[in-house]
Amino acid sequence: MSEFDLSNKVAVITGGSGTLGTAMAKGLSDAGARVCIIGRDIDKARRAARTISTDATRAMGLSADVTHPDEVERAAEAILMKWGQLDILVNAAGGNRPEATTNPKQCFFDLSPEVMRSVFDLNLTGSIIPSQVFGRTMAQQKSGVIVNISSMAASRPLTRVVSYAAAKAAIDNFTRWLAVYMAQEYSPSIRVNAMAPGFFLAEQNRAMLVDAATGELTPRGRAIIDHTPMSRFGDAEDLIGTLVWLTSDASRFVTGIVVPVDGGFSAFGGV
């Protein structure tokens, strides 16, 4: 079990103040890592850090917009000044916008290019920029791990979420490309992988899956459960085991893969 130990490691997680991000950050901390949560809202980032540890030497929150290189650079400088190293990057910042999805009142032909571009930027560019900034430090150290957060929508395009699905499909491709690049150009001890969560209830999708008034599943929520062999939505804690594996020496010969954490959704054909 010592191979899963993250003691003496420094981890950064973008989007770490959200439901899933905070759970993943706590999982890294429980495995021994010092953790920095990066989010656009500094108060939320700091609150999330305090839920992980009240010890400021173990967890901290910083603010940065992951689509702005200068803000990510400043965050990296603060982390290196405090802890002197960077071993793990989890690109968990992402999400969708209602204006970028199709529905009975909004067809594909009416979607605004600007709104769709904002979804691409948040999910794809918002993973590329931190990978450039923090990856540069890993290249200098000749070691490190990057974990991108993909989605079931990347490999099995889902209705409505056209912009989000396209952006996450690009994340899968970027993950594989960067894994090869970092290993060949800098060090085979720099690994890049991704996790593809199935359906987890979080702030951004709850209204789409659960009726707020009754607490019952919406038709979309019911369709998802019917196509998930484990017959439930994921809990945030379900991501931790895979994340600790991918960021620890237990997966030291694993790079360039996308791991589904989906209750069997990707394996089920519906019949």
Catalytic residues: 164
DSSP 121: I
Cα 197 to its chain centre, rounded Å, is 9
Distance CA 241, CA 146 (A): 16
Distance CA 109, CA 89 (A): 37
Among candidate residues 177, 5, 201, the one with its CA nearest the CA of residue 87:
5
Q: Which residues pair with 265 in a beta bridge?
A: none
In the three-class reduction of DSSP (H, G, I as helix; E, B as strand; rest coil), residue 204 is classed as: coil
Distance CA 84, CA 146 (A): 18
Kindly list the strands in the beta sheet with 144-149, ordered across the sheet, starting from the edge strand earlier in the chain. Answer: 59-63, 34-39, 10-14, 88-91, 144-149, 190-197, 258-261
Distances (CA, A) of 173 to 97, 121, 194, 237, 264: 22, 15, 10, 26, 22
Count of Cβ atoms closer than 10 Å to residue 44 Cβ: 17
Distance CA 140, CA 89 (A): 15
Among candidate residues 92, 77, 71, 65, the one with its CA nearest the CA of residue 136:
77
Map tokens 């499909």 to a residue: 169
Half-sphere exposure of 13 (CA within 13 A, CB side): 31
